[in-house]
Chain A
Amino acid sequence: MRRSAFCLLALGVMLVGCGKEDTPPTGLSTKTATDNSQTGAVASEAILDTVGKATKPYKIVLIVKTKNNPFFIPMIKAFEDTAAKLGVQAEVQAAAQESSYEEQVALVQTEVSKGVNAILITPADSKALVPALKKAVEAGVLVINLDNRLDPDTVKAQNLSLGGYVGADNVMGGEKAGLALLDALGGKGNVAILEGIRGVDNAEARKKGFLLAVGQRLKVVASETGEWETEKAYNKTLAILAAHPDLNGIFCANDNMAIGAMKAISEKGKRGLVRVVGYDDIPGVTAAINSGEMTATIEQHPDLMGGYGVRMAVGILDGSIKKGGEVLVMLETIQQFNTPKRPDPVKSP
């Protein structure tokens, strides 16, 4: 697979909260927290790469939304690998469903009472988990937010002192998808969007980013939902193709839906006439990218989130890294053309 050159702007790093800590958490962690606000480097990918073996075998738990979603599998693997490399104890917990935040709240409470040193969490709800995490911080547990971002206003209002954030920006990913489609269509045409489930953060963010990128240049003639699912996406695409014979492209908010859309397009003999851009870079679309049937997909590196999450936790616990940093892992546009002008960017953190 060719990783396109023009999008290699690995997003590097955004730094927030370099100033001093607002409120040092009470209890056990007070000492560490105060130390951190004075010593240590600000978290960034480059800095996190330098984090070495932990001084103590800390217990670190990763709480993901659910194991049902393949997205979290590389995250979990990288988390476990990196933890082993740094000499800390890793544990993974997950709720049964993607949206069950109550279960996550219970998991946070259980882990706190088990006495873990740090919790890495991809919150199922960006607001509802804040109180539980606040209690965890008060009990001296370091909390780091991965992937789905906690709502900044709620965090501020409840005075939650986070260790930091590692994730990808779905709005930016949507923009990249939009740019890829714009590019493939030469800057004009009629497009449709197959959204994820309405009301879900990343579904809305990807759509928002896509709309930002295509702006007035591409005409969005239909915006339907395939509910993240191949078969539903196939059915919707057949209808969209019939209603809009002049369609030039489809943006699918994940690759499972892109597979369904491509099937409908090829059944209708419109392969190449309707370009498809997906999201997630799952193994199932690799062949379609290579053959050019699929124009592009967006890779948002959950593996890096898992790896850098552990490094950030160990760095903060050991006092070499400041709290409150934000690391945005790189997003990549995966496309057929172009030989890579740089080595494979997937580094194992």
Chain B
Amino acid sequence: MTRAPQAVTDPIERSSRYRGHVIGIVRPWLTLLLVCALFSLHPVFRTTFWTRDYLPDVFQQSGRNIVLAVGMSFVVMTGGIDLSVGAVLALAGVGLAMALSGTPAVPHWLAFVAAFPLAFLTLGFVRRTLAARSASIPFAAIVSLFVLAEAAFGFVLVQALRGGLRVEGAIGFALLIGVGCGLLNGLVVSVGHVPPFVTTLGMMSVARGLTLYATNSQSVAADFPRLRLLGEGTPLLLVTLAVVAAGSLLLKRAQAGRYMLAIGGNEQAARLTGVPVETYKTLAYMLAGLGAALGGVLVVAKFGTANTGAGTGAELDAIAAVVIGGTSLSGGQGSILNALVGALTITVITSGLVLVGIEVNLQQVILGGIIVLTVFIDQLRKRRG
């Protein structure tokens, strides 16, 4: 962005850069505190929000959005966007519910959607092994290997579904559906060079349509006690925090995180320095799909029913959380913790507006205004700094 790329030797400049870095970390927390402080001017908010009864609710309400926002962060850092996460959430949710309840049965094509990432990973593994032995593989062989793997994994999944799955297996199945959708998004964006906005807008429509098609537009009941444990209280909190921790580790400690940031910062430069751009871009969309599917699992667990309309507008909440958290939509920077803070801020705003009794139509106006204002202030600071 505006930061000087050359090494900083001037001590004054170094200290100002350091300060900028600290502000970058603290800023989302300041926004959250500021929002809380503003609402606290209202007596009802003071007496209801700052209680041991309500504070945990903030986490209960934002858990799902945090999970989506973590996945979304990776895509945004590569300079992309994923509009399909809300619809993928619904598809994974009904997949989970159908796999568990068997009424209606999981359609076979959905098993093949879930088999897609497995087949693709197998293909990648085989190619890598062969490439290590410096053997060249003809294109036809790659295609037939992929078709074979897809068919095999699909068949195994269909058989497994017919035999009935335990809760863990069904959750795995749902996550595979999400990763499958994300993988497709990623391939179309990185290999097909279709703009992310268009690709994921298309996937949004496709996934929502498939959700309705698979269920004949009906909600699917999934009232299984072991699954429903996940949807509330401490387990929900732990899952959310685990996702944030895993995301942070991936971004800060793994090569993949550095590569994704590099791609978002300057795709050409990253390519020239040998970053496998296509692979890591695709990985970002797979992570977003995984987050969406996990969000779907949490929603089904919470309510014991998979709705075809679940997650409507969830993509916008996730993007808003990422942006309020201070991650730039132009890519190249960001942090996972910020997405967490952003999601919490949104929940504080939306529930705060209800607590203090703002009229419904005005609530949307205020929320929209706050989102833009936050990013505006951020931009001002960056330009000056």
Binding site for B on A (CB under 8 A): 67-70, 72-73, 195, 198, 222-225, 227-231, 234-236, 238-240, 242-243, 256, 259-260, 263, 267-268, 282-284, 287
Contacts and interface: CB of A to CB of B under 8 A. Distances in A.
Q: How large is the interface on B (under 10, 10 to 19, 20 to 34, 35 or more residues)?
A: 35 or more
Contacts of B309: 68, 228-229, 256
B305 A284 contact: yes
A67 B212 contact: yes
B307 A223 contact: no
Contact of A260 (B49, B303, B355): B303
Contacts of A242: 48-49, 51, 53-54, 57, 355
Contacts, number: 93
B351 interface: yes
A268 B232 CA distance: 11
Given A198-B360, A230-B310, A283-B219, 15 more contacts: A68-B208, A68-B212, A72-B217, A222-B354, A224-B354, A231-B303, A231-B311, A235-B61, A240-B354, A242-B53, A243-B354, A243-B355, A263-B303, A267-B232, A284-B219
| Most chain A beta-carbon neighbours within 10 Å: one of B54, B216, B219 | B219
B26 interface: no
B302 A239 contact: no
Given A235-B61, A238-B57, A287-B223, A223 B232 contact: no
A235 B313 CA distance: 14
Contacts of A231: 64, 299, 302-303, 310-311
What are the 7 A-B residue pairs with the smallest beta carbon separation, nearest first? A239-B354, A239-B351, A242-B48, A235-B61, A243-B355, A242-B54, A284-B305
B6 interface: no
A243 B212 contact: no
B60 A222 contact: no
Nearest to A282: B219
Contacts of B61: 234-235, 238
Contacts of B299: 230-231
A96 to B, nearest CB: 8
A263 B44 contact: no
Interface of B: 44, 48-49, 51, 53-54, 57, 60-61, 64, 208, 212, 216-219, 221, 223, 232, 299, 302-303, 305, 307-313, 347, 350-351, 354-357, 360-361
A195 B302 contact: no
Given A223-B360, A243-B44, A256 B307 contact: yes
Contacts of B219: 70, 256, 282-284
21 contacts: A68-B212, A195-B360, A225-B360, A227-B312, A228-B309, A231-B299, A234-B61, A234-B303, A235-B61, A235-B350, A235-B351, A236-B354, A238-B60, A238-B61, A239-B351, A239-B355, A242-B48, A243-B48, A256-B309, A284-B219, A287-B223
A256 B305 CA distance: 10
Contact of B305 (A230, A235, A268): A230
A282 B350 CA distance: 28
Contacts of A238: 54, 57, 60-61, 351
Contacts of B308: 68, 70
Contacts of A283: 218-219, 221
Contacts of B354: 222, 224, 236, 239-240, 243
Contacts of A282: 219
B243 to A, nearest CB: 18
A158 to B, nearest CB: 31
